[in-house]
Amino acid sequence: MKDKTKDYLRESFSYYGMYWQMFRYKKHTIPTYKSFGPDKDQYFLYYEPDYVKSDKVIIWVHGGGWNSGNPKFFDFVGQSISKEGYRTISIGYRLSPKNKYPIQIEDVAEGYNAAIRFLKKKNIDSSKIIVVGPSAGAHLTSILCYCKKVQEKYNVDISHVIGYVGFGGPYSFRDDQGKTLSMLVNQLFKKGYNRKNGEPVSLISKSDIPMLLIQSKHDGLIEYACAEDFKARADELGNKCEIYEVVDKRNTHSWYTAGHFLGTKKDYKTLEKFYSWIEKL
Q: Concatenate the DSSP letters of all residues of 97-154 into one string.
A: TTS-TTHHHHHHHHHHHHHHHHHHHTT---SSEEEEEETHHHHHHHHHHH-HHHHHHT
Residues in the chain: 281
The pLDDT mean for the chain works out to 95
Q: pLDDT tens digits, residue range 82-123?
A: 999 999 999 999 999 999 999 999 999 999 999 999 999 999
Residue 164 maps to which CATH number?
3.40.50.1820
Structurally, the chain folds into a number of domains equal to 1
Neighbour tally for 228: CB within 10 Å: 15
- Model pTM? 0.96
Q: pLDDT tens digits, residue range 201-248?
A: 999 999 999 999 999 999 989 999 999 999 999 999 999 999 999 999
Does residue 275 have a pLDDT over 60? yes
Does residue 13 have a pLDDT over 90? no
Give 3's pLDDT tier (boundaries 50, 70, 90).
low
Show the domain range for 149. Answer: 2-280
